[in-house]
Amino acid sequence: MADYVIIGLGGFLGAASRYAVALWIGQRWGRIFPLGTFVVNVSGSFFISLFMSLLTERFMVNPQIRLFLVIGFLGAYTTFSTFEYETGNLIKDGEWFIALANVVLSVIAGFVALKLGELIAKSI
């Protein structure tokens, strides 16, 4: 039962952080392209890779830290379902080029961020 509470607390903070980051970016740079979701997905890819590499390969830590950070916080922080929904809306609105750019950039930048997180974790 304690694991669910730990994951839930991390999830609450991750969801609130996702909302805050996406809102701030949207207010600052507009919402023509779903940049807030894009930044959240790329940064989430980076941090999930960084933390999993560090917590499973480099440091021996309490498994509950991984539950809190990776499953809870980052699981709620990343917004792939929102990415899909926003891309679908772009297509529905006839914005095929922006939808395609969102898919291609999200996948490529997310993968690059994932690999960067691994490299940084291995160099620490």
What whole-number percentage of the chain has pLDDT above 90?
79
pLDDT at 121 over 90: yes
16-46 tens-digit pLDDT: 999 999 999 999 999 889 999 999 999 999 9
**Above 90 in pLDDT, residue 60?**
no
Confidence band for 81, pLDDT divided at 50, 70 and 90? confident
Supply the pTM of this predicted model. Answer: 0.82
String of DSSP letters for the chain: -HHHHHHHHHHHHHHHHHHHHHHHHHHHH-SSS-HHHHHHHHHHHHHHHHHHHIIIII----HHHHIIIIIIIIHHH--HHHHHHHHHHHHHTT-HHHHHHHHHHHHHHHHHHHHHHHHHHHH-
The chain-wide mean pLDDT, for the chain, equals: 93
